[in-house]
Amino acid sequence: MNIKRYYNALERRAFEYIYERKGFKTKRKIVVIESDDWGSIRMPSKNIYSQLLNAGISVNQCHYNKYDSMASKTDMGFLFELLSKFKDKNNNPVIITANAVVANPDFEKIKKSGFREYHFELFTDTLKRKTDNSVEKWKEGIKNKVFYPQYHGREHLNVNRWLNYLKNNSQELKTAFEHEVFGISSTISKEKNPSFMAALAVDNTFDYEKHNQILEEGYKLFEQIFDYKSLSFIAPNYTWHKQHENTLYKLGVRYLQGTITQKRPLPKQIEKFEYHYTGQVNVNNQIYLVRNCLFEPSSNQNKNWVDSCLSEINKAFNHQRPAIICSHRVNFIGSIVPENRDRNLKLFDELLKRITQKWPDVEFFTSDQLGNLIEMES
């Protein structure tokens, strides 16, 4: 049997066992929409996408490289308008938990150092340089209760690993670097490079402490930018270690977003996997929130994402579970391919319409609101 298929089968069985028997239960029809990657550069523009493709990098083979970019004012305006259109039983609009990084690499300073030193710029500065957008648009969404940023890390980048490969003359990475791109997916790398997006993956034991310093710095920057603490956290690529949980706990993080599977990074070893369920607590009394529904239409245009997501929500409610929907930023971005945003917003509109029609007693929560409810009812 194919090893990957074998492990996938085991994971599905574990999920079914856990889902049926363990976890937080409620009769309330709660929907949480968690959306990752806000603030990160990914693909800066359509022009750069074309240049990388012409340079032989298969950016057309990964939907993140093909569609994902920093949100423009138009992207966020269309999204906010759609979210405001639907109301729950308490007359609250649909709200997205927008998991955001607060920084991106400062390519110019890194290059001047000969790739020996890492420097970053705040995502608010990247917005000004790369888009017509600003953090004020983000804060407009917060004020109108449709957009609620939470902490996703300082940047969506494994800093030490990336610098090491740049110093060792990875031509693929250097070509991308010259275009201010770091997010070349490992699935399309012709050099078979590892993931640079898993910010908390480790290559040696010293990485743990370095990552903890990065987490602390990024968390404080998040609070300065948004004027509130992030009570929840989602690790890039669902990869993090118990040491990271301890650091996050000291910073004030009480809820850990993720999927059923946590990739626990170990140096020079295959990542170990741990399984979680919503309502599970760790030694710090932090609560795991596990996504059980998917709405990722950018990843596969041939799938009926509305029906599949509704089916997963229905299953969650039948088991008296909150429905936690995973839908990355890429689904709402149109600066590179406008049709990507327009097509997916139509599907999202249909999904929200059918949710509110089928379950008129639905309640739209943020991740930290769900975590707080679990705390109160435990």
Q: What pLDDT shows up at residue 270?
A: 58
The DSSP element (H or E) to which 75 belongs, if any, is: helix 73-85
pLDDT digits (tens, 9 = 90+) for 232-258: 999 999 999 999 999 999 999 999 999
Q: Hey, what amino acid is at 275?
A: Y
Report the DSSP beta bridge partners of residue 120: 105
Q: Which pLDDT score is estimated for 95?
A: 98
Summarize pLDDT for 291-310 with one digit per residue, the tens. 999 999 999 999 999 999 99
Q: What is the pTM of this model?
A: 0.95
Per-domain boundaries in the chain:
3-377
Pairing relation of β-strands 120-122 and 103-105? Answer: antiparallel
Backbone angles phi and psi of 106, in degrees to 5: -95, 95
- pLDDT of 21 reads 75
Question: What is the CATH T-level fold of the domain 3-377, as seen in this structure?
Answer: TIM Barrel (3.20.20)
pLDDT bucket at 265, cuts 50 / 70 / 90: confident
Supply the pLDDT for residue 267. Answer: 79
User: Is the pLDDT confidence value at 4 over 70?
Assistant: no
pLDDT of residue 7: 65
Is residue 1's pLDDT more than 60?
no
Share of the chain above pLDDT 90, in %: 89
Instruction: Find the range with the poorest average confidence among 2-16, 95-109, 127-141, 344-358.
Output: 2-16
Q: How confident is residue 272, by pLDDT bands cut at 50, 70 and 90?
A: confident
> What's the pLDDT tens digit per position in 68-79?
999 999 999 999
pLDDT tens readout for residues 310-338: 999 999 999 999 999 999 999 999 999 99
pLDDT at res. 15:
66
On average, the pLDDT of the chain sits at: 94
- 128-160 in b/e burial notation, b at 16+ Cβ within 10 A? eebbebebebbeebbeeebbbbbbbbbbbbbbb
Inter-residue contact 194 to 161 (CB < 8 Å): yes
What Å distances lie between residue 365 and 7, 81, 147, 190, 327, CA to CA? 33, 18, 11, 42, 15
